[in-house]
Amino acid sequence: MKKKYDEAHVVKNTVSRDSSGIYIAKDYTDQYNYYNNRLHCHNFWELNFIISGSGIYTINSEVAEIRRGTVFLMTPADFHACSLRDGENFVSYCLQFYPNQLDEKISSLLYSCPKPIVYQVEEERIDEISRSFERLISTFSEKGLFYEQFARNFIENICILIARRVSREGRSIEDSAIIRSAIVYIKDHYREKITLHDAAANARLSDAYFSHIFSHVMGVSFSAYLKSVRLNAACELLNSTSLSIKEICFSSGFRDPNYFSDSFRQRFGVSPREYREMSSAGFERFTIGQI
């Protein structure tokens, strides 16, 4: 039976202790941590590099094991939660930063990955990477000259390494700057009322040309892709929270509960309520992913 999380909410600020907006620390997390079993997302990026411990991490319905050397990189669009049982805990380097602190080309490549960004660092490199994090923590603690720039350089470098790893594993989608930018825009704003015109304006293209490029590359229309992203988010909330169907409707970007239910049934063949009941009973019928 799938675990039901207590709540789902958006965390709007990093836990930065200064004006930089960047948070870096070596954190200890156990079953009593506030975010244990609390599904959430936030408007900043978060990277966790696991040093020791065990548990389960869930990101957008994908489940991954927490163990030494695992890297988890959460975008602002990712619903995620750790799940620790009695006696379980983990130690990690936690790095949080706002989107404007990462180069747009790097963020768009990472953001457009169809699956959560989780990978295992080779054992022989774990100590080396740990020392890099310790240097960053020390620099932040001392607050010396250009310490914020040092942190931004560190963020960019580690995200470039992750982007290269993701690219080698073939997990990035179509190599089109326009489409990557559009998908980033959708994932940033799908909870809001957005239109094709909004996305086209963001890409500085006419509505007609943007619609043609998007459909040609993605194989579906902009509206169909947006609806799919919203339905996937709804499935995650149905699987993992006790929020009401109406709350899930609005939390995943739909404005009309009847339209939401009709769209859900058309996509999955059952109502949102029936889906939740089947999921709770242990059925693994649905695959949440791309169209």
Domain covering 8-168 in this structure, CATH number: 2.60.120.280
Q: Within 13 Å of residue 88, how many CA atoms lie on the same side as its CB?
A: 15
Per-residue confidence (pLDDT) for residue 73, from 0 to 100: 96
Q: Answer for the pair 22, 148: CB distance below 8 angstroms, yes or no.
A: yes
Per-residue confidence (pLDDT) for residue 206, from 0 to 100: 85
Go through 251-270 and write b for each residue having 16 or more CB atoms within 10 A of its CB, e for each that does not: bbbbeeeeebbebbeebbee
Domain over 177-280 is classified CATH 1.10.3720.10: no
Long-range residue pairs from 252-260, CB within 8 A, at least 24 positions apart, any chain: 252/190, 252/191, 253/190, 253/191, 253/192, 253/226, 253/229, 254/230, 255/193, 260/234
* pLDDT tens string 231-276: 989 988 988 888 999 999 999 999 999 999 999 999 888 999 999 8
Q: Answer for the pair 98, 42: CB distance below 8 angstroms, yes or no.
A: no
Per-residue confidence (pLDDT) for residue 175, from 0 to 100: 45
Per-residue confidence (pLDDT) for residue 47, from 0 to 100: 97
Per-residue confidence (pLDDT) for residue 257, from 0 to 100: 94
User: What pTM did the predictor assign?
Assistant: 0.70
- Domain boundaries, given as residue ranges, for the chain: 8-168, 177-280
Q: Can you tell me the distance from the alpha carbon of 182 to that of 178, in angstroms, rounded to the nearest whole number?
A: 6
Per-residue confidence (pLDDT) for residue 17, from 0 to 100: 82
The list of the chain residues with pLDDT below 70 reads 1-7, 114, 169-176, 281-291
Per-residue confidence (pLDDT) for residue 281, from 0 to 100: 65
Q: Is 258 in a helix, a strand, or coil?
A: helix
Q: Can you tell me the distance from the alpha carbon of 197 to that of 115, in angstroms, rounded to the nearest whole number?
A: 27
